[in-house]
């Protein structure tokens, strides 16, 4: 397997690990509180407001991993299937994932909305460029 493909798969794995890490952390925030009776199941059956702020921030950050990253995964798979990966697309993929980690870190710590928005927007811009480059690469590849 070519190095560029391996690097794309690594970027995808790191994005997946971010989502899994957040959901495990979320479990460690929620489950003990329910087990101790601090939070009643009926209070969380429909909405999350009964959880403390940290658990809600983690939950929101986890949910956010199924927004832009879905487009990232689809694009990366397309690059792999079409053998269109190059160093620029790999760099954009790595940059996108790094921005997702930064976004999640802001989300679950200070939650400064302006900073979070700037990082989110930067990630969106990188993802848009990633997709533009992906389409260009695929359309410009010689036909088999």
- How many structural domains compose the chain? 1
CA distance between the termini of the chain: 20
Q: What is the pLDDT along the chain (144 residues), one digit of tens a residue?
A: 999 999 999 999 999 999 999 999 999 999 999 999 988 888 888 888 889 999 999 999 999 999 999 999 999 999 999 999 999 999 999 999 999 999 999 999 999 999 999 999 999 999 999 999 999 999 987 865
Range of the domain at 131: 3-140
CATH number at residue 9: 1.20.120
Q: What is the DSSP string of 20-71?
A: HHHHHHHHHHHHHHHHTTSS-HHHHSS-STTS-HHHHHHHHHHHHTTSHHHH
Claim: this prediction has a pTM higher than 0.75 = yes
Q: How many CB atoms lie within 10 A of CB 134?
A: 21
């Amino acid at each position: 397997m070519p190095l560029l493909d391996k690097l794309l798969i690594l970027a995808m794995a790191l994005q997946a690990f971010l989502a899994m890490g957040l959901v495990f952390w979320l479990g460690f925030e929620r489950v003990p509180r329910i087990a101790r009776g601090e939070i009643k199941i009926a209070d969380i059956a429909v909405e999350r407001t009964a959880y403390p702020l940290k658990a809600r921030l983690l939950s929101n950050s986890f949910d956010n991993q199924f927004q832009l990253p879905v487009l990232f995964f689809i694009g990366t798979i397309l690059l792999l299937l079409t053998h269109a990966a190059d160093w620029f697309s790999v760099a954009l993929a790595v940059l996108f994932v790094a921005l997702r980690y930064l976004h999640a870190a802001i989300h679950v710590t200070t939650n400064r909305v302006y900073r979070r928005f700037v990082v989110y927007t930067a990630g969106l811009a990188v993802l848009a460029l990633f997709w533009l480059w992906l389409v260009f690469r695929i359309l410009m590849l010689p036909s088999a």
